[in-house]
Structure 1
């Protein structure tokens, strides 16, 4: 058997009928079957599914149906459906979604072409009603195969969207299936996806075609999982998989999301944070992030807030007083260039005490320096206080009018090594 389409369902009416009608239209030329596990439905889901058995059989497709007397939850239902199947590849199909006629054929071709026996394939999708979760859909559909294993800490969940999953049975077996001991309120798809990432030697890829119509409605099982649950799962994996290779790092976002990320870290991991960075001049003028312990009435952590944009180190550090005057007076092309930020941060740190004996003693200068030396110290301070990788970017993608994406592209940093999105 080439492919098993598995459908976990509970109270799937009226959507299950559309789901099965779409499967009748599949143009796959290999051997395939459909395995439906009904998780104790109280509507007429079972009767509806049974009505499709002769129609599918006439197409040479076997439909297997099993019915539970007590609901075990989404992960439990998925595991039971897979247990009924025997295909080399497992195509997951949610009862409320619609597969395009070429879905199985397209995903089978991608999966079968991979060298690794551990294959995890997804596809692009279309949300309906139209324009529901527009940002989410754009993010997922635009991901490259490389980004599938990099942008795994966003609030969107798995980079390969669960209703599009098409995986090898060998991978499913190695992972031991879905965690099914929690009936409700658990993101079983994200937990499964993270374990697949941790396994190693898994080929993650997708068919870059819209192969699934992904329905958005209030009854979606994803609505039963709290945002806090998903946040904690992301934090736990970040601490386990990223921080061991980041002895020091910067948090990009001195606002609400960045503060929440910092507060979610352990006390030990908070010591790794060098500073916060931002592009909001009001936050940068504030100068410091303070983590206040309400119970003890004491500031536990105090970290500087710097700008994201990094001035050119060589040209600034080696400049004389005349060159520095030129840099400080140079207009910027977009209000965020080196000229603008050199002026702003230079002014900020003059207010903070540049030119004083105390400041220069701090940098090992025993006497008040000349104006030229003073300028050099100021510009060097800008460089030392600007953001540097690695960074965790706690800013939502596609929410800044392209500014975030532009700044990241200009930095020439490498995603996964120099920065990770956590938004």
Structure 2
């Protein structure tokens, strides 16, 4: 899929577009959208929502907040579809980007909450690093749900943001914290639209690195990052993805696309990447027949 030409070439109407895919998010949407309203950024902002076949009250909540946000000067663009099945996170993000107008893109998940300074601080960093994906530190909710993973997110050094791109956890700045220029997104993207089970953020991240992009993290906790059973990340955790690990002091992205395998069809430790949270594999060991599942493999290059 290519982004529509009018979305990438037209004059921007907002400085920053907040990109919000939504699917059955009624439980979290009020808090999420309140955090958009509470941003202290003084430039023009736009919220671009794409509703991916939600069957709950998400649509009504979005419409309610559209009025509040526009009354405060934040324009709101709403797209979506009501097909029987959702098209997936990659498709929804691409559609939200395509219908937006901002010069910069701030990605937000519908179950997360931004701190008031998020857009301002990441925008300032993006101006200084125009070909980088800008991330930030996070606060996990519940606080003790993924302690090791959260430490990894928040404590990587600037060098490790590049040297640890091939580890069990995936992108060294996590997708819900991404902020970048529209120009750079259009150069790298769009997201893969393979649907459930495809790590669209990981594939985009490697393509970003392949094209010479940088990675920068704002060292402030700017996002409340929720962990729950309905998170989209769990659909990716059911697979492992094989790839060729290159040799050398600094890793470069693999030349081929990632290949999904079933959870029990493990590859050798030298050629696999177990995506994101080892905690998931701990659960699988109690429910899956066959050989024990490796619980925690990091390929720290």
Q: Please say whether Structure 1 and Structure 2 have the same fold, judged by a TM-score greater than 0.5.
A: yes
Answering whether residue 150 of structure 2 is matched by residue 137 of structure 1, we say yes
How far off is 1:48 after superposition? 0.5
The more displaced of 50-59 and 32-41 is: 50-59
The answer for the alignment partner of 2:227 in structure 1 is 216
The answer for the alignment partner of 1:176 in structure 2 is 189
Q: 2:59 aligns with which of 24, 46, 52?
A: 46
How far off is 1:240 after superposition? 8.7
> Are the structure 2 counterparts of residues 139 and 78 from structure 1 closer, same or farther at C-alpha, using a change threshold of 3 Å?
same
| Whole-angstrom CA distance in 1 between matches of 2:189 and 2:58 | 28
Higher helix share: 1
| Whole-angstrom CA distance in 1 between matches of 2:201 and 2:26 | 23
The answer for the alignment partner of 1:67 in structure 2 is 80
| Whole-angstrom CA distance in 2 between matches of 1:63 and 1:195 | 30
Q: 1:12 aligns with which of 6, 12, 25?
A: 25
Structure 1-normalised TM-score?
Answer: 0.56
Answering whether residue 108 of structure 2 is matched by residue 93 of structure 1, we say yes
| Whole-angstrom CA distance in 2 between matches of 1:193 and 1:44 | 32
How far off is 1:204 after superposition? 1.5
Contact map agreement 1:2 1:31 (CA 8 A) in 2: yes
| Whole-angstrom CA distance in 1 between matches of 2:270 and 2:96 | 41
| Whole-angstrom CA distance in 1 between matches of 2:65 and 2:269 | 49
Answering whether residue 90 of structure 2 is matched by residue 78 of structure 1, we say no
Q: Which protein has the larger Cα radius of gyration, Structure 1 or Structure 2? A: 1
> Are the structure 2 counterparts of residues 47 and 163 from structure 1 closer, same or farther at C-alpha, using a change threshold of 3 Å?
same
How far off is 1:227 after superposition? 5.1
Structure 2-normalised TM-score?
Answer: 0.78
Greater relative contact order structure (CA < 8 Å, 6+ sep):
2
How far off is 1:149 after superposition? 1.3
How far off is 1:260 after superposition? 2.5
Q: In the TM superposition, what are the counterparts of 1:14-413 in structure 2 within 5 Å?
A: 14-70=27-83, 71-114=86-129, 117-180=130-193, 182-200=194-212, 202-226=213-237, 228-230=239-241, 232=242, 235-236=243-244, 238-239=245-246, 260-262=268-270
Total equivalences in the alignment = 251
Cα deviation, 1:254-312, whole Å, max 9, x if unaligned, reads xxxxx932476xxxxxxxxxxxxxxxxxxxxxxxxxxxxxxxxxxxxxxxxxxxxxxxx
The answer for the alignment partner of 1:409 in structure 2 is none
Contact map agreement 2:189 2:204 (CA 8 A) in 1: no
Runs of 5+ in structure 2 lacking a partner? Answer: 1-13, 253-266, 273-295
Contact map agreement 2:47 2:77 (CA 8 A) in 1: yes
SS of the equivalent of 2:240 reads helix
Contact map agreement 1:124 1:141 (CA 8 A) in 2: yes
> Are the structure 2 counterparts of residues 146 and 49 from structure 1 closer, same or farther at C-alpha, using a change threshold of 3 Å?
same
Runs of 5+ in structure 1 lacking a partner? Answer: 245-258, 265-394, 398-419
Contact map agreement 1:186 1:229 (CA 8 A) in 2: no
> Are the structure 2 counterparts of residues 240 and 170 from structure 1 closer, same or farther at C-alpha, using a change threshold of 3 Å?
farther
